[in-house]
Amino acid sequence: MNAILNISAYKFVPLPDAAQLREQLLERAQALGLKGTVLLAEEGINLFLAGPGEAVRSFVAQLHADARFADIVPKESWSAHQPFKKMLVKVKPEIIRMNHPAIRPAEGRAPAVPAATVKRWLDQGHDDEGRPVVTLDTRNDFEVDQGTFDNAIDWRISKFSEFPQAVLDHQAELQGKTVVSFCTGGIRCEKAAIFMREAGLDHVYQLEGGILKYFEETGSAHYHGNCFVFDERRGVGADLAALQR
Among candidate residues 98, 183, 193, 242, the one labeled active-site is 183
Residues 201, 122 contacting (CB under 8 angstroms): no
**What is the reported pLDDT for 64?**
97
Q: Which CATH class is domain 105-236?
A: alpha beta
For the entire predicted model, the pTM comes to 0.83
The bridge status of strand 178-182 relative to strand 133-137 is parallel
Which CATH code is given to the segment(s) 4-91? Answer: 3.30.70.100
The CA distance from 150 to 119, in Å, is 12
Q: How many CB atoms neighbour CB 73 within 10 A?
A: 12
**What is the reported pLDDT for 231?**
84
Is 183 known to be catalytic? Answer: yes
Domain boundaries, the chain: 4-91, 105-236
**What is the reported pLDDT for 35?**
97
Which residue ranges in the chain fall short of pLDDT 50? 245
The CA distance from 224 to 238, in Å, is 9
**What is the reported pLDDT for 2?**
84
Residues 84, 50 contacting (CB under 8 angstroms): yes
Residues 43, 94 contacting (CB under 8 angstroms): yes
**What is the reported pLDDT for 165?**
95
Query: Which DSSP string corresponds to the chain?
Result: ---EEEEEEEEE---TTHHHHHHHHHHHHHHTT-EEEEEEETTEEEEEEEEEHHHHHHHHHHHHTSGGGTT---EEEEESS---SSEEEEE-S-SS--S-TT--GGG-PPPEE-HHHHHHHHHHTB-TTS-BEEEEE-S-HHHHTTEEETT-B----SSGGGHHHHHHHHHHHHTTSEEEEE-SSSHHHHHHHHHHHHTT-SSEEEETTHHHHHHHHHTTTTEEE-EE-SSTT-EE-TT-PBPP-
> pLDDT of 187-201, one tens digit each?
998 899 999 998 999
**What is the reported pLDDT for 102?**
64
Burial level of 151, CB count in 10 A (0-12/13-18/19+)?
exposed
Residues 198, 103 contacting (CB under 8 angstroms): yes
**What is the reported pLDDT for 103?**
73
> pLDDT of 105-143, one tens digit each?
767 777 899 999 999 999 999 999 999 999 999 999 999
The CA distance from 178 to 212, in Å, is 21
**What is the reported pLDDT for 97?**
84
